[in-house]
Homo-oligomer: A and B are copies of this chain.
Amino acid sequence: MDAINTTLTNAERIDRLRLIRSDNVGPRTYRSLVAHFGSARAALERLPELAKRGGAARQIRIGREDDARAEFAACERLGVSLLAPEETGYPPRLATIDDAPPLLGVRGARETLMRPIIAIVGSRNASAAGLKFAGQLARDLGEAGFVIISGLARGIDQSAHRASISSGTVAVLAGGHDQIYPPEHEDLLAAILDAGGAAISEMPPGHEPRARDFPKRNRLISGAALGVVVVEAAQRSGSLITARMANEQGREVFAVPGSPLDPRAAGTNDLIKQGATLVTEASDVIQMVAPIMERPLSLPLDEPDGDPFSAEPEDDERARIIGLLGPSPVSIDDLIRLADTSAAVVRTVLLELELAGRLERHGGGLVSLI
Contact B259 A259 (CB under 8 A): yes
Asked if A175 lies at the interface with its beta carbon under 8 angstroms from chain B, I say: no
Residue of B nearest to A258 (CB): B259
Contact A257 B261 (CB under 8 A): no
Residues of B with C-beta under 8 A to A272: 257, 272, 278
Binds B, one of A55-63, A279-287, A326-334: A279-287
- Residue-wise, chain A 264-289 has the 8 Å CB interface mask toward B (1 for contact) of 01100110110000111100100000
> What's the Cα separation between A129 and B129 when bound, in Å?
15
Asked if A146 lies at the interface with its beta carbon under 8 angstroms from chain B, I say: no
Size category of the A interface is 20 to 34
Contact A260 B256 (CB under 8 A): yes
Residues of B with C-beta under 8 A to A261: 129, 132-133
Q: Which of A260, A261, A278 has the most CB of B within 10 A?
A: A260
Contact B278 A269 (CB under 8 A): yes
- Of B129, B130, B133, B258, the residue contacting A257 (CB under 8 A) is B258
> What's the Cα separation between A281 and B266 when bound, in Å?
11
- Of B129, B133, B260, B278, the residue contacting A280 (CB under 8 A) is B260
Q: A129-B259, A259-B258 are in contact. Are A273 and B284 (CB under 8 A)?
A: yes
Least distance between A255 CB and chain B CB atoms (Å): 9
Residue of B nearest to A268 (CB): B257
> What's the Cα separation between A340 and B284 when bound, in Å?
49
> What's the Cα separation between A130 and B259 when bound, in Å?
8
- Residue-wise, chain A 116-130 has the 8 Å CB interface mask toward B (1 for contact) of 000000000000011
Least distance between A162 CB and chain B CB atoms (Å): 18
Residues of B with C-beta under 8 A to A278: 257, 269, 272-273, 278
Residue of B nearest to A279 (CB): B260
Least distance between A184 CB and chain B CB atoms (Å): 27
Residues of B with C-beta under 8 A to A270: 280
Q: Which of A130, A265, A273 has the most CB of B within 10 A?
A: A273
Contact B269 A257 (CB under 8 A): yes
In chain A, positions 261-320 with a C-beta closer than 8 Å to chain B are: 261-262, 265-266, 269-270, 272-273, 278-281, 284
Least distance between A327 CB and chain B CB atoms (Å): 33
In chain A, positions 202-235 with a C-beta closer than 8 Å to chain B are: none
Residue of B nearest to A132 (CB): B261
Residue of B nearest to A260 (CB): B280
Least distance between A347 CB and chain B CB atoms (Å): 45
Least distance between A285 CB and chain B CB atoms (Å): 12
Least distance between A138 CB and chain B CB atoms (Å): 14
Residues of B with C-beta under 8 A to A133: 259-261
Residues of B with C-beta under 8 A to A273: 278, 280, 284
Sort A-B residue pairs by CB-CB distance and give the 4 closest, nearest first: A257-B257, A260-B280, A129-B261, A272-B278
Can you offer 19 A-B residue contacts whose CB atoms are under 8 A? A129-B259, A129-B262, A132-B261, A133-B259, A257-B258, A257-B259, A257-B260, A257-B265, A258-B259, A259-B262, A259-B265, A260-B279, A260-B281, A269-B278, A269-B280, A272-B272, A272-B278, A273-B280, A273-B284
Q: A269-B278, A272-B272, A273-B280 are in contact. List 16 more A-B contacts (CB 8 A).
A: A129-B259, A129-B261, A132-B261, A256-B260, A257-B257, A257-B258, A257-B260, A257-B269, A257-B272, A258-B259, A259-B259, A260-B279, A260-B280, A272-B278, A273-B284, A278-B278
